[in-house]
Amino acid sequence: MKLTLNLSTTPSSHERYALAWAVPTAVIALAGLVLLSLLAVRNFREYRSVRRSVLESEQTEARLRTQEMALRRDLEQPQLRQVYRQAQFVNALIDQKQFSLTELTEKVSKLLPGDVRLTGLALSRAEKDRVVRFSVAGNDEEAVETFLSRLEDSADFADVAILNQGFGQEGAGHGPVIIACVARYVGGRAR
């Protein structure tokens, strides 16, 4: 006689529930694994391209540094040093000879009394000298004379000459006084 024994236990409801969800969970896990693998591959490719560009920029920087050092060595040669010093000297002379119309206007404005205004300013070059032509209008003759005396006393102007003098519309002594004069500009740069 043969006896068969069944030693297995009957599955509980939890075991049946877990078995039913095992396949979908495995599919979802497999899909997540594939997604993570694809992201890892993409990130690795991006890393390689960034690393390649960093290496290229480092090589370019090293090459430029080498060129800079070669140029510095060339500039350190005695004959090039002399040329560099001479160029600096010439540039310094050019800077000293520069002329600024705004500086000229500022110097003239400092000479004007409160009741005199500048109505015209012209600059011309006669040989080596700079000649400035002024037109000013003042409320009275004393204010214009004050401007002229300040102009004559100024270290920036020389050889002041009055070209024209007139009175405004209201007649002699009553209206504004208008004067046109010239002076040689001998001033340099404002310090």
Q: How far is CA 125 from the centre of its chain?
A: 33
Other CB atoms closer than 10 Å to residue 77's CB: what's the count?
10
Q: Is 69 exposed, middle or buried (0-12, 13-18, 19+ CB in 10 A)?
A: exposed
Best-predicted range by mean pLDDT (30-34, 93-97, 168-172, 184-188): 30-34
Contacts of 154 (CB under 8 A, 6+ apart): 107, 111, 187
Residue 140: what pLDDT? Answer: 82
Per-residue model confidence (pLDDT) at position 147: 87
| Pair 111, 154: CB distance under 8 Å | yes
DSSP letter at 20 equals H
Q: What is the pLDDT of residues 111-122, one digit of tens each?
A: 888 888 888 888
Does 58 or 132 have the greater pLDDT score?
58
pLDDT digits 0-9 by tens, 142-157: 888 888 888 888 888 8
pTM for the whole structure:
0.45
Half-sphere exposure of 183 (CA within 13 A, CB side): 24
Give the per-residue pLDDT at 28: 95
pLDDT at 30 over 60: yes
pLDDT of residue 189: 43
C-alpha–C-alpha distance, residues 101 and 107, integer Å: 10
Strands 129-138 and 157-167: unpaired
Q: What percent of the chain has pLDDT over 70?
A: 90
Work out the burial of residue 182: count CB atoms within 10 Å of its CB; fewer than 13 is exposed, 13-18 middle, 19 or more buried: middle
Per DSSP, 127 falls in state T
Q: How far apart are CA 90 and CA 191, in angstroms?
A: 20
